[in-house]
Structure 1
Amino acid sequence: MYTRILKTVSLLMVSMVLSVNALAAGGDRPKDETGPVETGPVKAAKESNAFDDFLDDETLLGGKFTTWVEFASDYVFRGESETNDGKIPSLKAAITWSHPSGFYLGYYGANNLFPGNDAAHNNPHINALWGPYAGYSVKDIAGSGINYNGMFFQYIYPGSRDSNYLEMFNYLDTQIGNLNLKFEYSPTITDWFGVKGLQSHNVAILPSYALPHKFVVSGGVGYQFFNNHGPNLDANGNGKEELNWVHWNIGVSRKMFGYNVDLRYHDTNIKEGHHDFYGFSSNHQIVDSRYVFSLSRSF
């Protein structure tokens, strides 16, 4: 009798040992499972944390976002006031996604005010400018110390679709001690302001120099010229098209309390009565000399 009891106890112990070994080896579950199946609140919590981690990440597809804003007394572009001679202050903003490869995408917006024929002598159809941009930048090309930045920008005037156009900005620059020399060539890809057959080109030299106490003096001289294969644009009727102009600026800037502070003088060579775009008493005020004060910040 005792022999039978001992045999039974021995069989039970052997069975328990085999069961423990089987559990340790994972023999009680399918080979493709690595843990208990999570359902209900546990699964929902983990998925929620993963979503939060995605939104909290500072990168998207390997790139980072930056934002730029500027408040200024006027908006001057190639010597021309974009706020009808500073009738209203200028507010600009841009958001950019930049990839380490040098590729970037963004969107730009600004308020706008052009001369026109409404009661206040403004253009009632154009009061804003915005649009997407895409570009590529590369530094120290082939060890030359020359950097390149190229960008396509689509001008969109929400109240005047016929004025929309596409332009490509191209910049080369190099650093020589405290002096940075930058060169620009920017042609339009589509018709300038929607004028059929009219192509715009801007060439400029844009130097800047670092001064003591982190001040920077900078400026530029540019030439805006056109190729016209479209309508006759001799608006003043003197027998020739006078479309091109020279523009220049000089100013000083410094970063103060987290903001870039800039004071700048702008001017052009456009004379009243001698230009087919801006030579008239109704709009010449937007291309005469002016000082502009601005505050900007990137974050």
Structure 2
Amino acid sequence: MKFTLNTLGLTVASSLLSTVAFANEKASDHTISGNIGVVSEYILRGNTAVPENDNAAVQGGLDYSHSSGFYIGYWGSTLGYSLTDFDYAEEAYTGSKAFENDFYLGYNGSITEDFGYTIGGTYYYYYQSDADVNTTETLIGVNYKDFAFTTQTLLGDVEWGNKGDTYLLATYSYALPQDFTLNTALGAYYYRDKGEYEGITLDTQKKFAFRHFTVGLSHPLGDTGASVSMDYIVGGKLRDDTTLKNKVIFGIKYDF
């Protein structure tokens, strides 16, 4: 059975991939920031086989951070299907009523000026859902200058994943001339082959698989606070051995 949701998480984001940024410097004890944007498609963790939204998706988030390293935030996205209407003939959810809500918190710490770490978690809640898809995921990561490595692990069985499924992500960003930034991400998955939905909505044939390689460019739109981006996704494999296609994603985002 093909299920529309596959391995949800912080791509915050998204996109939001996904890259994860670690804040080592704070302008004040309390910092509040946010963002809102549009992407041509919501491709989560390189899954081009069943996009979370294969049309333009509206996404946004709000974050609070403290100089101690504590942070808490929210990120959300429109989805391209409804989690209340299952089409048994197509073996997939249809419609466009669902909305993804990610609530996260954690702690960013530093060991040296260039070396830091993060520990946290995310709760995923899907508005208007009759399916068992809401769950929590842990986050553990380290970063050195512009390089970061994170692991995110599911804490419960849901229709789109087994407890223990772990997403591994390495990211690197590099400043280019003319205010361009090169963004790269390499993702892989450890898939657990036991769970409540194994053999029902899940068909695990690979325990470990390369998931995606993403390379892209971003550029600010003057001093407006907005930026544009283009990412090229090189697809890997899903847990059922499905080969993912390559795809180009465009986006525009405003930070405030």
TM class by smaller structure: 0.7 to 0.9
Q: Spell out the pairing of 1:5-84 with structure 2 (5 A cutoff).
A: 63-81=30-48, 84=51
Shift of residue 229, structure 1, vs aligned partner: 2.9
Q: Which residue does 1:153 correspond to in 2?
A: 122
Q: Which residue does 2:9 correspond to in 1?
A: none
Q: Structure 1 residues 73 and 243 mapped into 2: Cα distance closer, same or farther (>3 Å)?
A: farther
Where relative contact order (Cα < 8 A, 6+ residues apart) is larger, the structure is 2
Q: Structure 1 residues 232 and 263 mapped into 2: Cα distance closer, same or farther (>3 Å)?
A: closer
Alpha-carbon distance in structure 1 between the residues aligned to 2:70 and 2:144: 20
Q: Is residue 182 of structure 1 aligned with residue 148 of structure 2?
A: yes
Q: Which residue does 2:143 correspond to in 1?
A: 173
Q: Which residue does 1:138 correspond to in 2?
A: 109
Q: Which residue does 1:90 correspond to in 2?
A: 57
Q: Structure 1 residues 121 and 89 mapped into 2: Cα distance closer, same or farther (>3 Å)?
A: farther
Shift of residue 82, structure 1, vs aligned partner: 9.2
Shift of residue 255, structure 1, vs aligned partner: 1.3
Alpha-carbon distance in structure 2 between the residues aligned to 1:194 and 1:74: 19
Shift of residue 102, structure 1, vs aligned partner: 1.3
Alpha-carbon distance in structure 2 between the residues aligned to 1:65 and 1:232: 39
Number of matched residues?
219
**Same amino acid, percent of matched pairs:** 20
Alpha-carbon distance in structure 2 between the residues aligned to 1:130 and 1:153: 10
Alpha-carbon distance in structure 2 between the residues aligned to 1:107 and 1:215: 27
Residue type at the aligned position of 2:126: Y
Higher share of residues assigned strand: 2
Cα distance per residue 1:207-246 (max 9 Å; x no partner): 11111122111111111122233358468xx9x7236432
Higher share of residues assigned helix: 1
Q: Which residue does 2:164 correspond to in 1?
A: 199
- What CA RMSD, in Å, does the superposition of the two structures yield over aligned residues? 3.2
Q: Structure 1 residues 183 and 122 mapped into 2: Cα distance closer, same or farther (>3 Å)?
A: same
Q: Structure 1 residues 114 and 184 mapped into 2: Cα distance closer, same or farther (>3 Å)?
A: farther
- TM-score if structure 1 supplies the norm length? 0.63
Q: Is residue 245 of structure 1 aligned with residue 214 of structure 2?
A: no
Q: Which residue does 2:177 correspond to in 1?
A: 212
Q: Which residue does 1:229 correspond to in 2?
A: 194
Alpha-carbon distance in structure 2 between the residues aligned to 1:221 and 1:150: 20
Residue type at the aligned position of 1:138: G
* Preserved contact between residue 206 and residue 221 of structure 1 (Cα < 8 Å): yes
Alpha-carbon distance in structure 2 between the residues aligned to 1:114 and 1:289: 22
Q: Structure 1 residues 85 and 189 mapped into 2: Cα distance closer, same or farther (>3 Å)?
A: closer
Q: Could you list the runs of 5+ residues in structure 1 that have no partner in the other structure?
A: 1-61
Alpha-carbon distance in structure 2 between the residues aligned to 1:99 and 1:254: 28
- TM-score if structure 2 supplies the norm length? 0.73
Q: Structure 1 residues 73 and 194 mapped into 2: Cα distance closer, same or farther (>3 Å)?
A: closer
Cα distance per residue 1:120-144 (max 9 Å; x no partner): 98613772110321111123x1x26
Secondary structure of 2:206's aligned partner: coil
Cα distance per residue 1:177-230 (max 9 Å; x no partner): xxx2111111112225475x5321011221111111221111111111222333
Alpha-carbon distance in structure 2 between the residues aligned to 1:230 and 1:86: 26
Residue type at the aligned position of 1:262: S
